[in-house]
């Protein structure tokens, strides 16, 4: 066939294949237009999951009558006018393709009025970009777009839509994500003439936290850390869940770059590494994070639906995110951390003879399996003696405290003073506000692990020369990379030389990894550098070994501790980073306040 120009409507229908995947895709495009119009109130009306009707109205700046036909034409936009504008996009939309693409696969009408206009004007479109005939309308200032009968003229695509319930759930989830990006905007969502969501504008921090709680749950806000970190011209703010509050799926992870919701592999990798060795295996963190940086440093024109971005300095962004989250999680200490048992799940048993008995249900914070104590017969007398030598004053103070029953509870340490060692596993401690239960093995494991890491990483990495050098077969690209990054490998304790186009020779390794499969480790590190531009696989492997050493040297279950030993461990926890979780991500302690205890026993009721 000869080359020919496609009809405009067909061109728009092809473009709609990228822009309009399902009803929620249309809602996203229309909401972004509302944001760019400066709207402070947006109402979304949905019928039959968006298949029959999607109606989005706002109180934004509106569109003048003369520009209405352009708004429904391809590659016509008010957002950019030059390449320089494209390189520093600050608006949500900029391509000018959404409305004509939507109108080519649905019946679209647009009503808009500016503040100074005498009346609103209404136009309809079918994707052909012709026969526009604006008609006056009594619509108030702002814009309303109606999209009816989605895919009425492309029945093959309509077959790919799911049930009404499924499609609406996608719209509802999308609106929650968009609502978290613009606290200054109010949202109303109706489905089949029934109000589903009504979010007022949230200007104060308290109102913002209330909106987040309504979307992510109150439990998240009670178990989260506030982030506010700035460096290298970038700012990261928001909320991240403590490691003890996690999910089985990554379904509550919201990340925004300059208020734009995105999913990025580099970002995901940085956050995953920040939660390393504090999150239980198979669990996913919960977060609502906002990254702000110079628009010229991020390319938003990298995905048809604008769901992905490209960072000009990816390594810098990765390191910034990792350090901000890693430091924020590490700085949480007992007294700040919210390792509290949810008292709402302790339900009194209705019993006419005994109304004070309470039935204990699992805490909602217990999102990880219960702690499992190791049974390796390791003696810990040496460790306890070291504690005694290092902290004689703390031991004497704790002895004096327990000898005096009338001593004031004020000015207590955050984890209080030990009272008993329950079942030779759990430390019961009295605090100023209530009691604390500590898993002695898990807590000691974390304390030992952090000390080992500090000792290992403060000095130069000890290396072990190999008696027989190891030849490793790699690709030519990986061999080039190993040669280019020779100094990085050397700083990590590896001595690597290139001996052929696809061969490298390993002559020394870190002493800690002398029994490891270094051949595979080197290949994995090279693969990481190719994909992410960096690799922390070696650090991760070293930490795994240190964690194993800490686990084997920690206080074992059924090993009875004295009050002095327990108090020294509590003081160590208060000074140790990430003390709220053991090396495997399990919680190390929980707290019950006196008001919680009163509630259990119905005191004052």
pLDDT in tens, 554-598: 666 667 888 998 999 999 999 888 888 887 778 899 889 888 888
| Lowest mean per-residue pLDDT among 203-207, 305-309, 327-331, 502-506 | 305-309
Q: What is the mean pLDDT of residues 167-192?
A: 95
pLDDT, position 389: 52
Q: What is the mean pLDDT of residues 175-182?
A: 94
pTM: 0.72
Under CATH, which number does the domain 217-330 receive?
Answer: 3.30.230.10
Q: What is the mean pLDDT of residues 526-532?
A: 69
Q: What is the mean pLDDT of the chain?
A: 81
According to DSSP, the β-strands at 53-58 and 310-311 are: unpaired
Contact assessment for residue 130 and residue 100, using Cβ atoms and an 8 Å cutoff: no
Quick one: how far is CA 229 from the chain centroid?
Answer: 15
pLDDT, position 600: 84
Residue 78 has pLDDT above 90, yes or no: no
Give the pLDDT confidence of 341-399 residue by residue, as tens digits: 443 333 333 333 433 333 333 333 333 333 333 333 333 444 445 445 544 555 555 55
Give the chain's length. 605
pLDDT, position 206: 92
**419 Cβ contact partners less than 8 Å away, ≥ 6 residues apart:** 402, 428, 429, 430, 563
Domain definitions of the chain by residue range: 8-199, 217-330, 343-452+557-600, 461-550
According to DSSP, the β-strands at 224-231 and 234-241 are: antiparallel
Q: Hey, is 113 helix, strand or coil?
A: strand
- pLDDT band of residue 220 (cuts 50, 70, 90) is very high
Report which of 319, 235, 286 is spatially closest to residue 536, judged by C-alpha positions.
Answer: 319
Burial 576-593 (b: 16+ CB within 10 A, else e): bbbbbbbbbbbbbbbbbb
pLDDT, position 544: 67
Report which of 521, 529, 522 is spatially closest to residue 503, judged by C-alpha positions.
Answer: 522
Element spanning 80, H or E: none
Portion of the chain with pLDDT greater than 70, in percent:
79
pLDDT, position 452: 72
Residue 276 has pLDDT above 50, yes or no: yes
pLDDT, position 388: 52
Show contacts of 249-252: CB within 8 Å, 24+ apart. Answer: 249/284, 250/284, 251/284, 252/216, 252/220, 252/286, 252/287
pLDDT, position 550: 66
pLDDT, position 426: 92
| Lowest mean per-residue pLDDT among 164-168, 252-256, 455-459 | 455-459
pLDDT, position 459: 59
Contact assessment for residue 229 and residue 274, using Cβ atoms and an 8 Å cutoff: no
Pick the CATH number of 461-550 from 3.30.360.10, 3.40.50.970, 3.40.50.740, 3.30.1370.100: 3.30.1370.100
Q: How far apart are CA 543 and CA 522, in angstroms?
A: 17
Residue 274 has pLDDT above 60, yes or no: yes
pLDDT, position 347: 35
Give the pLDDT confidence of 85-127 residue by residue, as tens digits: 777 888 887 777 888 889 889 999 999 999 999 999 999 988 6
Residue 39 has pLDDT above 90, yes or no: yes
Portion of the chain with pLDDT greater than 90, in percent:
35
Q: Does the structural domain 343-452+557-600 have CATH classification 3.30.1540.20?
A: yes
H helix runs in 182-299, sequence order: 205-216, 218-222, 265-274
- pLDDT band of residue 488 (cuts 50, 70, 90) is low
Per-residue three-class SS string for 322-361: HHHHHHHHHCCCCCCCCCECCHHHEEECCCCCCCCCEEEC
pLDDT, position 456: 67
pLDDT, position 579: 87
Domain 8-199 -> CATH class: alpha beta
Residue 279 has pLDDT above 60, yes or no: yes
Residue 503 has pLDDT above 70, yes or no: yes
Handedness of CA 53, 59, 64, 67 (dihedral sign): negative
């Amino acid at each position: 066939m000869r080359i020919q120009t496609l009809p405009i409507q067909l061109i728009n229908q092809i473009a709609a294949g990228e822009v309009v995947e399902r009803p929620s895709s249309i809602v996203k495009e229309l909401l972004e237009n509302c944001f760019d119009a400066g709207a402070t109130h947006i109402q979304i009306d949905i019928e039959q999951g968006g298949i029959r009707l999607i109606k989005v109205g706002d109180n934004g700046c509106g569109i003048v009558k003369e520009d209405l036909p352009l708004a429904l034409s391809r590659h016509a936009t008010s957002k950019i006018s030059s390449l320089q504008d494209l390189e520093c996009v600050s608006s949500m939309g900029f391509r000018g393709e959404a409305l004509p693409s939507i109108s080519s696969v649905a019946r679209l009408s647009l009503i808009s009025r500016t503040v100074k206009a005498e009346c609103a004007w209404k136009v309809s479109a079918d994707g052909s970009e012709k026969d526009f005939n604006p008609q006056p309308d009594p619509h108030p200032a702002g814009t309303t777009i109606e999209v009816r009968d989605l895919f009425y003229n492309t029945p093959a695509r309509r077959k790919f839509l799911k049930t009404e319930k499924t499609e609406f759930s996608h719209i509802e989830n999308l609106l929650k994500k968009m609502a978290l990006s613009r606290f200054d905007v109010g949202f109303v969502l109706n489905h089949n003439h029934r109000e589903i969501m009504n979010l007022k504008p949230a200007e104060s921090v308290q109102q913002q936290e209330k909106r987040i709680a309504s979307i992510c749950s109150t439990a998240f806000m009670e178990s989260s850390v506030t982030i506010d970190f700035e460096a290298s011209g970038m700012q990261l703010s928001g909320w991240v869940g403590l490691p003890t509050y996690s999910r089985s799926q990554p379904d509550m992870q919201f990340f925004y770059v300059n208020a734009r919701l995105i999913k990025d592999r580099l970002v995901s990798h940085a956050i995953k590494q920040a939660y390393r060795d504090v999150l239980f295996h198979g669990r996913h963190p919960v977060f609502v994070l906002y990254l702000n940086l110079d628009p010229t440093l991020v390319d938003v024109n990298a995905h048809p639906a604008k769901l992905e971005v490209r960072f000009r300095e990816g390594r810098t962004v990765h390191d910034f995110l990792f350090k901000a989250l890693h430091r924020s999680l590490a700085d949480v200490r007992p007294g700040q951390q919210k390792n509290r048992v949810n008292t709402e799940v302790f339900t009194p048993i209705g019993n006419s003879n005994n109304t004070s008995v309470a039935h204990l249900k699992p805490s909602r914070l217990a999102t990880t399996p219960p702690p499992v104590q190791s049974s390796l017969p390791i003696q810990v007398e040496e460790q306890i003696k070291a504690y005694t030598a290092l902290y004689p004053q703390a031991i004497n103070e704790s002895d004096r405290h327990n000898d005096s029953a009338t001593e004031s509870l004020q000015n207590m340490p955050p984890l209080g003073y030990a009272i008993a060692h329950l079942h030779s596993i759990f430390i019961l401690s009295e605090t100023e506000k209530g009691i604390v239960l500590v898993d002695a093995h898990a807590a000691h494991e974390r304390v030992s692990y952090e000390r080992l890491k500090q000792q290992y990483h403060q000095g130069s990495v000890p290396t072990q020369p190999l008696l027989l050098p190891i030849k490793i077969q790699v690709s030519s690209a990986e061999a080039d990379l190993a040669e280019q990054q020779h100094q990085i490998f050397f700083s990590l304790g590896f001595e690597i030389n290139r001996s052929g186009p696809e061969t490298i020779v390993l002559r020394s390794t870190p002493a800690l990894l002398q029994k490891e499969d270094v051949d595979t480790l080197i290949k994995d590190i090279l693969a990481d550098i190719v994909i992410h531009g960096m690799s922390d696989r070696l650090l991760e492997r070293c930490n795994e070994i240190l964690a194993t050493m800490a686990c084997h040297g920690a206080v074992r279950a059924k090993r009875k501790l004295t009050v002095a030993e327990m108090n020294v461990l509590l003081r160590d926890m208060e000074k140790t980073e990430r003390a709220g979780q053991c090396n495997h991500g399990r919680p190390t302690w929980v707290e019950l306040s006196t008001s919680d205890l009163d509630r259990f026993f119905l005191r004052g009721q």
